[in-house]
Amino acid sequence: MDYQKYMNTRIQSVQPSGIRKFFDIANEMKDVISLSIGEPDFQTPWHIRDEGIRSLTKGKTWYSPNRGFADLLNEITKYYERRFGITYSPTKQTLVTVGGSEAIDLVLRVLVDEGDEVIIPQPSFVCYHPLTVMSGGVPVVINTKNEDNFRLRADDLRAAITDKTKLLVLPFPNNPTGAIMERHDLEEIAKVCIEKDILVLSDEIYSELTYGVRDHVSIASIDGMYERTVVINGFSKSYAMTGWRLGYALGPAEIIGQMTKLHQYGIMSAPTTAQYAAIEALRNGDRDVNRMRDEYDMRRRLVVDAFNDMGLTCFEPLGAFYVFPCIKSTGLSSDEFCTRLIMEKHVAVVPGNAFGESGNGFVRVSYSYSLKHLKIALERIREFLEELHHGN
Amino acid sequence: MNKLLQLIRKNANFTTAELSAMLGEPEKLIKEKLHEYHQKGIIKGYQAVVNWEEVDDSYVEALIELKVTPKKETGFDEMAQMCMAFEEVESVYLMAGVYDFALIVRGETMQDIAMFVAKKLSTIDGVLSTGTHFIMRRYKDRGMNLFDAENQTDERSLIL
């Protein structure tokens, strides 16, 4: 059968993720040292796992309410108030989803009409573009630049806006660059959004992973932005809970209401066990978050220092758990660099252009690995560069 | 600088340059601190964590409980020093609970250790009783997993 003719035309236009190609090569090799994985290497802290187990032993195996358990909704809103100074109603402005990813999909499907333009800064996580296409929108890419530390500049945003622009995706702290947006950066962005009347999807999944003195700032806390921002967050990165699949959205009641309707039809409710575990995470997990952040920070410093020392210049990433060194000095493209590195030294990193064209000339290196693992990998990369230098 | 000690306690193999990068302190300061820690006896030395099961050498360890009568003048310290003096004794801890000292004793065979306890330890003046527990297997030692390599493989999937 020719399945193509049955298949939705939009889905056929969506390209498969560019990260995968290197994963496939890496999977074939036995002794690959990978620096390519984008999830915490920590296990979920025990007391959080234990609450999940406890809920199971008590037989709590039913669906939760569509929006999520009231206790969890309450804890989420208390957390956003305590950490980022923003107040949401747990009953009207909060929705628990299957990971942050579901929430992103819901926002796009609820807001985007056929032909609406959605502005996506790149390099960024690979899902925004295809999900915009699937919701009938038109992705408009802004390339952030190394010289701006990969922050989104208000001038670039202004230049990208047309009559059809409806939504800006704001993915900070950023995967893959590790860039963050500080308050003054966000204030500039906010001015443009308010002036041009566009909404913001603020993907804050890495909000607990910022380093140095700078705490994450949510654009929803900037004057005039609360009413035009949907915040996405979740438990995966901050509490090392990727496999539990739990995220949430916070925003204007009308938008969250429509998202809830769609969530109800498509998903019904987020996993029950995971919600019990997440309540414990929000109530008693601050110490774990700090412990993991400190550990990431040490690794981050080690890796940034090593790359700069090797001559692959690397702006200081202040968020997430990635560094994004520039490899242009090698004369190789990102794809060539990654292919040769994995073939010659069995080290897997992800080409920067997998996250948008402007990532070409860069590679994404995850430091979500033990210090021991990182040291071996960095040593191999150093060897690779030396051999490259001597014309092998 | 407590972080420095925490780091090298887990892994003494870091170079001062790496420690400097990780802690965001100048390398010179790290070197000075390490020197100071050695001088003051805060850092006593560095050892490898060896998984003897993987080595052909015979290696037996036992935990020995010791009940003693403390000395009038010196309390437990003198007893501790007498235990420490034996090269078979790896560690000496004063305990709270049903016995006074816990000793880790090392030998080539169980017989070695049994004889050591019978002839040398229990004959010390002031030792009331001993209890010997042979260590059969070390699963985790000084924070390192010596047991299941499987658990140490990366099970994370390649997602996106």
Which residues from chain B sit within 8 angstroms of residue A127, using beta carbons? 160
| pLDDT above 80: residue B48 | yes
**C-beta separation of A22 from A342 below 8 A:** yes
Residues of A in contact with B24 (CB under 8 A): 301
Residues B59, B121, single domain; the answer is: yes
| Cα radius of gyration (chain B) | 21
Q: Which residues of B touch A304 (CB under 8 A)?
A: 21
Helices (H), A67-177: 70-84, 99-111, 128-134, 154-160
Residue A362 pLDDT greater than 80, yes or no: yes
For the cut 90, the answer to whether the pLDDT of residue A361 exceeds it is yes
Exposed (0-12), middle (13-18) or buried (19+): which is A179, by Cβ within 10 Å?
buried
Q: Which amino acid is at A133?
A: V
pLDDT band for position B113 (50/70/90)?
very high
Q: Beta-carbon neighbour count of residue A363 at 10 Å? A: 29
Inter-chain touch B22–A302, beta carbons under 8 Å: yes
Domain extents in chain A: 3-44+287-386, 46-284
Residues B30 and B102 grouped into a single domain = no
Helices A286-310/A371-389 angle, 10° precision: 20
Amino acid at A54: R
Bridge partners (DSSP) listed for residue B144: B141
Residue A102 · residue A227 · CB < 8 Å = no
Mean pLDDT computed over A311-320: 94
Split into its structural domains, chain B has a count of: 2
In this structure, the answer to whether residues B81 and B135 fall within a common structural domain is yes
Indicate the residue of B21, B156, B160 with minimum beta-carbon distance to A301: B21
Q: Which residue has the higher pLDDT, B72 or B42?
A: B42
Same domain, B11 and B87: no
Nearest to A314, CA basis, from A362, A350, A349, A358: A362
Q: Is B130 helix (H, G, I), strand (E, B) or coil?
A: strand
Q: Name the pLDDT band for B55 (thresholds 50, 70, 90).
A: confident
Output the CA–CA distances (angstroms, integers) from residue A12 to A7, A16, A109, A127, A134, in the order listed.
Answer: 7, 10, 18, 15, 10
- Residue A17: which of B3, B22, B160 has the nearest Cβ? B160
* Weakest-pLDDT range from A222-236, A260-274, B64-78: B64-78
**DSSP classification of residue A7:** S
Residue B39 CA to residue A333 CA, distance in Å, equals 51
Helix (H) or strand (E) holding A375: helix A371-389
Is B19 a member of any domain? yes
pLDDT given at position A25? 74
CB A48 within 8 A of CB A280: yes
Q: Is residue B156 part of a domain?
A: no
Q: What pLDDT shows up at residue A392? A: 57
Give B-chain residues touching A372 at CB under 8 angstroms. 11
Cα–Cα distances in angstroms (integers) from residue A245 to residues A75, A104, A248, A250, A271, in the given order? 17, 14, 10, 17, 7
Is B156 within 8 Å of A37 when comparing Cβ atoms?
A: yes
Whole-prediction pTM value? 0.90
B70, B128 in Cβ contact below 8 A?
no
Provide the number of CB pairs (under 8 Å) joining chain A to chain B: 43
Secondary structure tally for chain B: helices H, strands E = 5, 6
- Indicate the pLDDT class of residue B151, thresholds 50, 70 and 90: low
pLDDT of residue A80: 98
In a domain, B145, yes or no: no
Report the CATH number at residue B132. 3.30.70.920
C-alpha distance from B154 to closest chain A C-alpha (Å):
8
Cβ distance A17 to B23 less than 8 Å, yes or no, reads no
SS3 assignment for A238-305: CCCCHHHCCEEEECCHHHHHHHHHHHHHHCCCCCHHHHHHHHHHHHHCHHHHHHHHHHHHHHHHHHHH
pLDDT of residue A390: 86
Is there a shared CATH topology between the A3-44+287-386 domain and the A46-284 domain? no
Q: Which CATH architecture has domain A46-284?
A: 3-Layer(aba) Sandwich (3.40)
Q: Residue B29 falls within a domain, yes or no?
A: yes
List, as one string, the DSSP characters of A203-231: E-TTTT-B-TTPPP--GGGSTTTGGGEEE
- The total of other beta-carbon atoms located within 10 Å of residue A373's CB is 17
Q: What is the pLDDT of residue B40?
A: 95
CB contact under 8 A, B23 and A298: yes
Average pLDDT score over chain A: 95
pLDDT band at B2 (very low <50, low <70, confident <90, very high): confident
pLDDT tens by residue, A75-104: 999 999 999 999 999 999 999 999 999 999
The residue-averaged pLDDT of A1-26 equals 84
Q: Are residues B10 and B73 in the same domain?
A: no
Query: Does residue B33 sit in the same domain as residue B60?
Result: no
The amino acid at residue A290 is N
Looking at residues B48-52, what average pLDDT do you find?
88
Residues B131 and B60 in one domain: yes
- Picking from A299, A305, A316, A378 by the largest number of B CB atoms within 10 A of its own CB, the best residue to mutate is A305
Q: How far is CA A158 from the centre of its chain?
A: 24
The percent of residues above 70 in pLDDT, for chain A, comes to 99
Mean pLDDT of A121-137: 97
First to last CA, chain B: 39
pLDDT at A21 over 90: no
Sign of CA dihedral A125, A73, A268, A252: negative
- One-letter amino acid identity for A377? A
Mean pLDDT of A135-141: 98
Is the domain of B130 the same as that of B63?
yes
Quote the CA–CA distance of A149 and A294 in Å, as a whole number.
Answer: 22
pLDDT at B146: 86
Q: Identity (one letter) of the amino acid at A2?
A: D
Q: Do B24 and A302 touch (CB under 8 A)?
A: no
Tell me the shortest Cα–Cα distance from B20 to chain A, in angstroms: 9
B14/B80 same-domain check: no
The answer on B71 and B28 residing in a single domain is no
Pick the CATH number of A3-44+287-386 from 3.40.50.740, 3.90.1150.10, 3.30.1050.10, 3.40.50.2300: 3.90.1150.10
Q: Across residues A159-181, what is the average pLDDT?
A: 98
Q: Are residues B12 and B76 in the same domain?
A: no
pLDDT for res B129? 95
Which band of pLDDT confidence, cut at 50, 70 and 90, is reported for residue B143? confident
Q: Is B75 within a domain? A: yes
Statement: residue A20 has pLDDT above 90: no
Dist CA A364 CA A178 (whole Å): 9
| Contacting residues for A323 by C-beta, under 8 A, at least 6 apart | A178, A300, A303, A304, A307, A314, A317, A364, A365, A367
Q: Which chain A residues have any C-beta within 8 angstroms of a chain B C-beta?
A: 17, 19-20, 23, 26-27, 34, 36-39, 41, 125-127, 298-299, 301-302, 304-306, 371-372, 375
**Average pLDDT value over all residues in chain B:** 91
End-to-end Cα spacing for chain A: 49
* A170-179 pLDDT per residue, tens: 999 999 999 9
Q: Kindly determine whether residue B160 and residue A127, on different chains, have CB atoms separated by under 8 Å.
A: yes
For strand B101-107 and strand A33-34, is the pairing parallel, antiparallel, or unpaired? unpaired
For residue B23, give its domain range.
2-39
- Residue B57 and residue B126 share a domain: yes
